[in-house]
Structure 1
Amino acid sequence: MGNSSKKQGSIVAIMAMIFLFAMIAFVTNLCSPMAVILKNAFKVPEALAQVGNYGNFGAYFLMGVPAGLLIDKFGYKKTAIAALVVGIIGLLIQWVSGSMGFVVYLIGAFISGLCMCMLNTVVNPMLNLLGGGGSTGNQLIQIGGVFNSAAAVCVYMLMGSLIGDASKAQVSDAAPALFIALAIFIFALVVIFFTKIEEPKTGSSNSVQKTEDKYSCYSFRHFKLGMLAIAVYGAVEVGPPTYILSYLTAAKDAVNPGLGMDAGYCGTLGAVYFIFMLIGRFVGGMVGGKVSPKAMIATVSFVAMVLVALGMILPTSQTISCPGINYTTMSFVWGEVPVGIFAFLLIGLCASVMWGGIFNLATEGLGKYTAKASGAFMMMVAGFAVMIWLQAFVVDLTHNYITSFIVVLLSAAYIFYFAFWGSKNVNTDIPVE
């Protein structure tokens, strides 16, 4: 009976963590569609319109380590509840920003980012630990990623239907999406509050040992290399959809020339990229228990390198029919894009499983240091903003969007190195119990 209750509790805990995984994507991906609204509502340029993403990802840099310390001191459940409260506050501030100004929206996005960081710090290690680490832990993270990607696609579709005419968009147009997010967060708060979660042991369980411990998560080489891997992963996940849109819509005679294609159709390609991520995570969730994280990440990072290289060298004169999604009618629209751009879109299949696999490899074997390691790991998500800026810098330097994908290529190459060689734990002499 005791084992049955324990197993049932684990299943409930797993479902709760997967539910939170989806919520992370729902709120995080509100920022990009909101940029369309901000440009019209507050009359700001493109760089400032994306400030929601900067604030959201930038919050990880400040909250990553404190989130790990919160888990170490109060446990996963209390940290998750605190995160949801913070998220509710952030969403309410974004909602009132329509009448209070652009700075208020930025504050709301930043506070929401704090929530996302705290939730990520809870969800990833909990799924890994509930699965027992290794391939099974990785499989649970990939399954969580399926729901994460599905929520991202839903947000793009929902916001597209709410925005309608971009030239007339106002913050109030996004109110239904913000209210949906609020309702979900309140529901999640109730579910987590009444869910019994068996807390894994953390370093705080023995105060004497904590005082005398000369080691930390930073004592492990593979963890430090994994931190860098998750930072550069931002280029692989965020770079393609961001700069595909910029390249296809930029005028042919612009300072940074593009193809001058219809912005309405090109804007729909973002959802296609995330659908590829959804497919990749679904497949990853099915095979994650049979394939080691090392083999999985080494394979997809190598394929990503091949796709980036193809996208950079294939001529723009070779085109392929590619579907987009009309958000207002919920129907497919078709257009012709260079075959190299389609190769860039396919990177979504590879990027889909990288997050969970990198986390799994970076924290494997850390034992009591896992909670603080998770916080430090989340801090490196700030690298997403850095990688977005770095690729933009290359665009401005070379005046060539395609050349800027060298940033994505080098990032995928490093992830391949980490998976194949850098993820090996060479510090097995460090006690982790």
Structure 2
Amino acid sequence: MMEHISQRAPLQHTQASTGNTGPLIIITTLFFMWGLLTALNDVLIPHLKALYTLNYVQAMLVQFCFFGAYFLVSLPAGMLIKKIGYQNGAVAGLVIAAAGCALFYPASMSGYALFLLGFFVLAAGITILQVAANPYVTVLGDARTASSRLTLTQAFNSLGTTVAPTLGGILILSSDVTDRAAQAASVQGPYLALAGALLLLALMFAFARLPRIAYVDDAAPLAATGKASALSHPQLVMGAIGIFLYVGGEVSIGSFLINFLGEPDIASLPADTAAHYVSYYWGGAMVGRFIGFLVMRYISPGKTLAFNAAASMALILVAIFGHGQTAMWAILAVGLCNSIMFPTIFSMALYRLGNLTGQASGILCMAIVGGAIVPFAQGLLADSIGLQLSFLMPLLCYAFVLYFGVKYAGLYSAGEQS
């Protein structure tokens, strides 16, 4: 699915590892940009909910369209990258994402349906970037430190998600704007600016000097089992379920945060003020990823993952059954626990898959569709049993992540902790 040269060989860096720093810096800019664009959804959901008088399920169609693109576009993205290469694939992804941002201009003068199309096109571009960049990072260095390296680049993804809610709150959720047409038009300037930034970044990538990523034969033990499909490996299947549920839980919490903080029993915050607090949620993930980058060089990734998942469950329970500031800060603190989950599950699922690495990476990227399904399911709960109790949905997601971490805590042999 993600092969560049051959379907029978894993990703390999064709240059010496000493030249990895520059390429990693360039790739990291992609992580920042798609983090910014993804977290802006958390601002737009309550904005569009109020603008078009939507219930929670209807509002969650934003995430359904956005993360649904990961499922529908991941396979075509892999084929595209196979044809044009990882660098050109990144350029194509940036251009498509820019087109999605540009669609927000006519959508602001039209209706909700065109906004949803814009979200899908934007996410399609980001999906191409994800398919190219995640495995790229895993091979730009020692395989034993893949988890910590991907965690470091994800930290800059979290920088984008941290900046986005505050920026969106200022530019889009201004409490001074009461006219409906003006509220709809408030997305025009920010998203046109983002479209321009993406096109500029595409131009920079088109002329950047990045190393060629190729596939060569690998005699890794799991690849030598004779299994032709990555889905034959329970480790990969469990990892895909883990990605599905983790992304679903993380996105679902972020999607409901502004409304949750506006609840009378929690903080009664207006939307523009609550948006600033959403930055704490994503900012916690950023801080935690820098910490995780160091911690997982000494502690098993599986054990670290299990600990963070257990802590997330405890905090969500406090948010569900607590009130006021205690519940508010408990749900925001889940962001800190989220920090290492995606890169750790991703790299553990790919560990020593040998010639199935490319196929497995595509499967894991498709599993990001959890970000479409879980928020939608929580929306159904919120409409039926109330917003606070609906957080039982992400609680169940983290329970599986805990199970995955415990089950594969011994995945890495002695000396191979990353």
Q: Report TM bin, short chain.
A: 0.7 to 0.9
Does structure 1 conserve the Cα–Cα contact (< 8 Å) formed by 2:130 and 2:365?
yes
Residue 304, structure 1, aligned to residue 312, structure 2: yes
CA–CA separation in structure 2 for the residues paired with 1:7 and 1:369: 22
Is the CA contact (8 Å cut-off) linking 1:9 and 1:196 kept in structure 2? no
Partner AA of 1:373 in structure 2: A
Unaligned runs of 5+ in 1: 206-212, 252-257, 317-336, 427-433
Tell whether 2:241 aligns with 1:228. Answer: yes
Structure 2 CA distance for partners of 1:345 and 1:36, relative to 1, 3 Å: closer
- Name the structure 2 match of 1:380: 367
- Separation of aligned partners in 1, 2:381 and 2:116: 26
Say whether 1:167 aligns with 2:178.
yes
Pair 1:361–1:248, CA change in 2 (3 A):
same
For residue 108 of structure 2, give the secondary structure of its aligned residue in structure 1: helix
Q: Equivalent residue for 1:219?
A: 232
User: Match of 1:238?
Assistant: 251
Change beyond 3 A, Cα 1:200–1:368? farther
Do the aligned residues in 1 keep the contact of 2:64 with 2:373 (CA within 8 Å)?
no
* CA distance in structure 2 between the aligned counterparts of 1:92 and 1:244, rounded to whole angstroms: 27
Counterpart of 1:157? 166
Q: Which residue of the other structure, out of 355, 373, 379, is the alignment partner of 1:368?
A: 355
Q: What is the distance in 2 between the residues matched to 1:152 and 1:109? A: 16
Give 1:177 deviation, angstroms: 2.3
1:83 aligned partner = 93
Q: CA deviation at 1:170?
A: 3.4
Contact 2:77 2:131 in 1 (8 A): yes
> Cα–Cα, structure 1 residues 266 and 26, in superposed 2: closer, same or farther, change >3 Å?
closer
Query: Over residues 341-387 of structure 1, what are the superposed CA-to-partner deviations in whole Å (9 max), with x where a residue is unaligned?
Result: 32222111111211111101111112232222222211111112211
Q: How does 1:7-406 map to 2 (within 5 A)?
A: 7=17, 9-39=19-49, 47-134=57-144, 136-163=145-172, 164-165=174-175, 167-168=178-179, 169-193=182-206, 194-201=208-215, 215-250=228-263, 261-264=268-271, 265-313=273-321, 315-316=322-323, 337-397=324-384, 399-406=385-392
Q: How far, CA to CA, are the matches of 1:413 and 1:108 in structure 2?
A: 33
Q: 1:120 to 1:294 in 2, by over 3 A?
A: same
Report the CA distance between 1:28 and its aligned residue.
1.7
3-state SS in 2 of match to 1:149:
helix
* Percentage of matched positions with identical amino acids: 25
Q: Matched residue pairs, number?
A: 387
Distance 1:182 1:288 in 2: 36
Contact 1:158-1:177 within 8 A present in 2 as well: no
Assess, with a 3 A threshold, how the Cα gap between structure 1 residues 217 and 276 changes in structure 2: closer, same or farther.
same
Q: Alpha-carbon deviation of 1:7?
A: 4.6
Instruction: Provide the C-alpha distance between the structure 2 equivalents of 1:122 and 1:106, rounded to a whole number of angstroms.
Output: 25
CA-CA distance at 1:307 after TM superposition: 2.2
Shift in alpha-carbon separation, 1:288–1:311, aligned structure 2, 3 A: same
Shifted more, 264-273 versus 118-127: the winner is 264-273
The alpha-carbon deviation at position 250 of structure 1 amounts to: 4.1
1:115 is displaced (CA, Å) by 1.0
**Contact 1:232/1:411 (<8 A) preserved:** yes
Change (3 A) 1:155 1:229: same
Q: Secondary structure at the match of 2:215?
A: coil
Confirm or deny: 8 A CA contact 1:32 1:50 kept in the other structure: no
**Counterparts in 2 of 1:423 and 1:95: CA distance versus 1, 3 Å:** farther
CA RMSD of aligned residues (A): 3.0
Partners of 2:60 and 2:406 lie apart in 1 by: 35
Cα 1:178–1:8 change in 2 (3 A) is: farther
In 2, Cα distance between the equivalents of 1:117 and 1:288?
A: 27
Per-residue deviation at 1:50? 4.2
Residues 21 and 373 of structure 1: is their aligned pair in 2 closer, same or farther, counting only changes over 3 Å?
same
2:407 corresponds to: 421
Cα displacement string for residues 59-105 of structure 1 (whole angstroms, at most 9, x for unaligned residues): 11101222233334443223212212211221222233223443322
Q: 1:67 is aligned with what amino acid?
A: A
For the residue of structure 1 that corresponds to 2:212, the secondary structure is coil
Contact 2:98 2:196 in 1 (8 A): no
CA distance in 1, matches of 2:249, 2:111: 33
Q: Unpaired segments of 5 or more residues in structure 2? A: 1-12, 219-225, 413-418
2:178 maps to a residue whose letter is: S
Contact 1:60 1:382 in 2 (8 A): yes
User: Following the alignment from structure 1 to structure 2, what is the Cα–Cα distance between the partners of residues 173 and 340?
Assistant: 31
Whether contact under 8 Å (2:64, 2:372) holds in the other structure is yes
What one-letter code is carried by the residue in structure 2 that aligns with 1:79?
G
Q: Decide whether the 8 Å contact of 2:46 with 2:259 is kept in 1.
A: no
d(CA) in 2 for partners of 1:46, 1:395: 7
Distance, in Å, in 2 between the alignment partners of 1:57 and 1:144 is 21
CA distance in 2, matches of 1:160, 1:312: 25
Q: Residue 167 of structure 1: SS of its match in structure 2?
A: coil
Further displaced range: 89-98 or 235-244? 235-244
Shift of 1:259: 5.1
Task: Please give the alpha-carbon distance, in whole angstroms, between the structure 2 residues aligned to 1:202 and 1:68.
Answer: 17
The answer (yes or no) to whether the contact 2:17–2:141 under 8 Å persists in 1 is no
Give me the whole-angstrom Cα distance separating, in 2, the residues matched to 1:105 and 1:50. Answer: 13
Which TM-score applies when normalising by structure 2? 0.82
- Mapped to 2, the partners of 1:72 and 1:196 lie a distance apart of 16
Distance 1:340 1:45 in 2: 23
Q: Is the 8 A contact 1:244 1:341 kept in 2?
A: no
CA deviation digits over 1:230-275, x for unaligned, max 9?
A: 1111343133344454344346xxxxxx558233444432122122
For normalisation by structure 1, the TM-score amounts to 0.80
